Amino acid sequence: MSGHAFDRLSVLLVDDNHFMRGVLHTLLQALGVHRIYDATDGSAALKRLRNTPVDLVICDCETRPMDGLALTRTLRADTDPTRAMLPVILLSGHDDEARAAAARDAGVNEFLIKPLTPRTLYLRLLAAIETPRPFVRTASYYGPSRRRRARSPADGMPRDTTRYAGKAPVTLRQLSDLIDRLVS
């Protein structure tokens, strides 16, 4: 049992899929979040944030016209420090390394690869809120440290990548394909 205080958390959901927004809304409410706002894309989210400050943004990667990466980059460049440091959880249907790297370089705090489940959402909320990465600034980047935390709630998540010493990470999908090729 823990002392989470999600009831004091305000969240902006950004997704152009009405049904997915409803699912996220339901899950967040069940986890105790009561102040939930909606936007259909990055531009609508930025407009909403001007009048409604929130504690966290959960954004789909592929919203149109402004996607989740562009929204995150715009937030990180904001002159208002609260908006610039606003935690962002990015939802993505793709598990490839390139997208994960793009999300990291845009300044995303947490990357949630679909399928969305109550557990993965809960873990990402905890990671973003309770063990936030320190913000760093370089010549070309401002955002959460891109180095993995020493320990976070999300560390208990099942991994979808397998890393062998000295080799690039192999996704389970690549592994399955490799096995198929070997069998045939």
- Is residue 57 part of the contact set for other proteins (CB under 8 A)? no
Among residues 40, 38, 24, 33, which one has the least CA distance to residue 4?
33
Under the binding rule (CB under 8 A), the answer on residue 129 touching other proteins is yes
Q: Applying CB under 8 A, does 87 fall inside the site for other proteins?
A: yes
To the nearest whole angstrom, how small is the minimum distance from the Cβ of residue 124 to other proteins? 12
In contact, 169 and 162? CB cutoff 8 Å: yes
Coil, helix or strand at residue 39: strand
Q: Does 130 bind other proteins (CB under 8 A)?
A: yes
Minimum CB separation of residue 16 from other proteins in Å reads 10
In the three-class reduction of DSSP (H, G, I as helix; E, B as strand; rest coil), residue 35 is classed as strand
Q: List the one residue from 77, 96, 145, 163 that touches other proteins (CB under 8 A).
A: 145
The three-class DSSP label of residue 116 is coil
Residue 85's CB is within 10 A of a number of other CB atoms, namely 17
Nearer to other proteins (CB atom), residue 4 or residue 73: 4
Please report whether residue 138 would count as binding other proteins according to CB under 8 A.
yes
CB closer to other proteins, 27 vs 170: 27
Confirm or reject binding of residue 113 to other proteins (CB under 8 A): no
Q: Is 20 in the site for other proteins (CB under 8 A)?
A: yes
Show the tokens assigned to 138.
């370089």
Asked if 157 touches other proteins (CB under 8 A), the answer is: no
User: With contact defined as beta carbons under 8 Å apart, do 103 and 69 qualify?
Assistant: yes
Name the H helices within the chain.
Answer: 18-30, 42-51, 68-76, 81-84, 97-106, 118-130, 172-183
Chain residues in the site for other proteins (CB under 8 A): 1-6, 8-9, 17, 19-20, 22-23, 26-27, 29-32, 55, 62, 82, 85-87, 93, 109, 114-119, 121-123, 126, 129-139, 141-142, 144-145, 153
